[in-house]
Amino acid sequence: YEVRVEENRVNVEILRIPVVDLDEPRSPASAVVFEIIRGNDDRSFEITTDRNTNEGVLCVVKGLDYETAKQRVLVIAVNNEAPYMLVPHSQQVSQSTSSVTVHVMDVDEGPVFKPCLLRIDVKECEDIGTSIGRYVAEDPETGNSEGICYRIAPGQCNWISIDEKSGEVRTIRVLDRDVAEMRQGQCNITVLAIDRNGKTGTGTIQVVIQPGNKNYPRILKTDYIMCRDRKPICLTAQDGDASPYSAPFVYRITDRNLASSWKITRHNDNSVYLSPKGDIPFGIYDIPVSVTDNGGKVGETHVKVNYCDCMTPTECNGSTRELREGSVTLGIWAILAMILGSLLLLLILITICGCCGTGVMHRHVTDDCANHNLIISNTEAPGEEVMDHNIIPLQTTTDQGGYGIKTGDQQTFESVKGRGHTLESVKGGGHQTLGSVKEGGGQTVMDTCRYSYSEWHNFTHPRLGEKVHLCRQDEEQKHSEDYLLSYHYEGKGSLAGSVGCCSDQHEEEALDFLDQLEPKFRTLAEACVKR
């Protein structure tokens, strides 16, 4: 048989081959099976049996190429489904065969990419516009690429471009394996080739992105607390790149001053130990550490180490207890000791002030109602008038040059020399006596509480100051002869002792002690009694 078929036609019937079998029709003995025994190495043809007509049907299942083979010759054999049953000693039946010549008809085809799938390996993070390959098609009729233009089919991932005439492929974006459009680091792109007659051929470019060194290595954790046991800190770096552009890493302290006091010890390909070389002050250290990956890319990270005076890192609680560059940071126990010391000092001060306040209160001299008693001996106020038959008032009139005591109903205590001022005039009461004595019922009646201590003080203080001033102005010290006495020496002590015991009498009406003054007031009596 001879048949004709256009090139590139597929799944088309090209020939029916009839057979003759004398066995009973529609029985296994007459049913036939066809087989192509030669000329179909590429399995471009296929033959089946039509059960209704018992014919063999020859089809083209793969497109034929005129430029490759203009004709094909096939040898087809036929057999029954049931095996042959031969009479003993009979002649062997030979197999029936037939040859079929297939003529391939030339057809104007579109361009064809060779290969139809092109794989291009590209390094990650290549610069935009980098040429990564060339993909061209040929016209089957001419066997060349003249007159063919190229385009990328719409709807493709926009990563590469292809030159319309030359078919050169270039990057138009930075290729990244980690984007969603990339599946396992690759992307398939369909390319169209169009000839002069408008025939179109298609091809596929498979872009495979090889891992590149696009990421800088960096240290994951940068804040650490180191206690006084100086346990080394483990630094671990991470690089987003795959091998061979990631580990092993190389660590280095970039600051020279810190590099002299801190050291780095290798742990494994990813980690190192950071520790001080010797004794260093407590404080916060900002240590710049550079990490270099296997591809030579360097990343720098600042590691913050709080070298704290603690037993466990939790004791620091984010606070710094440091001794660095002359500054001192106290621990919690030192702060507590300072607080307790301050409280103790404050308590002592309060106690002292309380005692002083109590002493002042006890020492405070209230207004003295100088009635029937001698006034306190350490004051400058005058004494009381003592009405006793053993003491006779001295009748002395005060002249302008001194002090004296008057007797009678009108007795003044003193008149200031040259000025004529009396205590009564200061009080604004005119000329009054120190005490007035009235005779009535045979008993002596005394005025009580005439003068207070504050009144005496207000009267005498400015005048004593004036007299002292006059003494300083007088070169011959005449003023001091009358009233200025030395207080640092009081002479030889007497047998009488102190007269302060009189102040121990607290009963207002107990005046019996005046009858028995004994030697204490003998000198005073001698001065006052007129003999």
SS3 132: strand
Higher local confidence (pLDDT), 362 or 84: 84
Q: Which of 28, 77, 17 is nearest to 50 (CA)?
A: 17
pLDDT band at 437 (very low <50, low <70, confident <90, very high): very low
* pLDDT exceeds 60 at position 296: yes
Higher local confidence (pLDDT), 526 or 459: 459
Section 302-326 average pLDDT: 73
SS3 155: coil
Least confident of 15-24, 37-46, 214-223, 415-424: 415-424
SS3 97: strand
Section 177-189 average pLDDT: 76
Q: What is the pLDDT of residues 233-262, one digit of tens each?
A: 999 999 888 788 888 999 999 999 999 999
Alpha-carbon separation of residue 379 from 456, 464, 465, 480 (angstroms)? 9, 13, 15, 20
Higher local confidence (pLDDT), 331 or 72: 72
* pLDDT exceeds 60 at position 420: no
Alpha-carbon separation of residue 68 from 141, 172, 496 (angstroms)? 11, 38, 161
Predicted TM-score (pTM) of this structure: 0.40
> What are the residues whose beta carbons fall under 8 Å from the beta carbon of 196, sequence distance 6 or more?
147
pLDDT score recorded for residue 249: 93
Section 47-61 average pLDDT: 93
pLDDT score recorded for residue 415: 38
CA-to-CA distance for 320 and 315, rounded, in angstroms? 10
pLDDT score recorded for residue 204: 93
**Spacing of C-alpha 90 from chain mean position:** 106
Q: What is the mean pLDDT of the chain?
A: 76
Section 306-321 average pLDDT: 78
Which DSSP state fits 486?
-
Alpha helix (H) residue ranges in 364-446? 423-426
Section 185-205 average pLDDT: 89
* pLDDT exceeds 50 at position 134: yes
pLDDT band at 417 (very low <50, low <70, confident <90, very high): very low
As a whole-number percent, the residues of the chain with pLDDT over 70 amount to 67
As a whole-number percent, the residues of the chain with pLDDT over 90 amount to 33
* pLDDT exceeds 80 at position 23: yes
pLDDT band at 411 (very low <50, low <70, confident <90, very high): very low
Identify whether the C-beta of residue 306 lies closer than 8 Å to the C-beta of residue 224.
Answer: yes
pLDDT score recorded for residue 45: 95
List 131's β-bridge partners, or say none. 170
Instruction: Compute the radius of gyration of the chain from its Cα atoms.
Output: 68
pLDDT score recorded for residue 174: 81
Q: How far apart are the first and last CA of the chain?
A: 194
Which DSSP state fits 531?
-
CA-to-CA distance for 238 and 221, rounded, in angstroms? 10
pLDDT band at 360 (very low <50, low <70, confident <90, very high): very low
Strands 117-123 and 200-210: what pairing?
parallel
* pLDDT exceeds 70 at position 441: no
Higher local confidence (pLDDT), 207 or 409: 207
* pLDDT exceeds 60 at position 166: yes
* pLDDT exceeds 80 at position 275: yes
Q: Domains in the chain, start-ordered, CATH in brackets?
A: 2-84+95-105 (2.60.40.60), 112-210 (2.60.40.60), 218-307 (2.60.40.60)
Strands 223-226 and 298-307: what pairing?
parallel
pLDDT score recorded for residue 365: 44
Q: What is the pLDDT of residues 368-383, one digit of tens each?
A: 444 444 555 555 555 5
> What are the residues whose beta carbons fall under 8 Å from the beta carbon of 265, sequence distance 6 or more?
232, 272, 273, 275
Alpha-carbon separation of residue 441 from 388, 390, 444 (angstroms)? 17, 21, 8
CA-to-CA distance for 419 and 223, rounded, in angstroms? 91
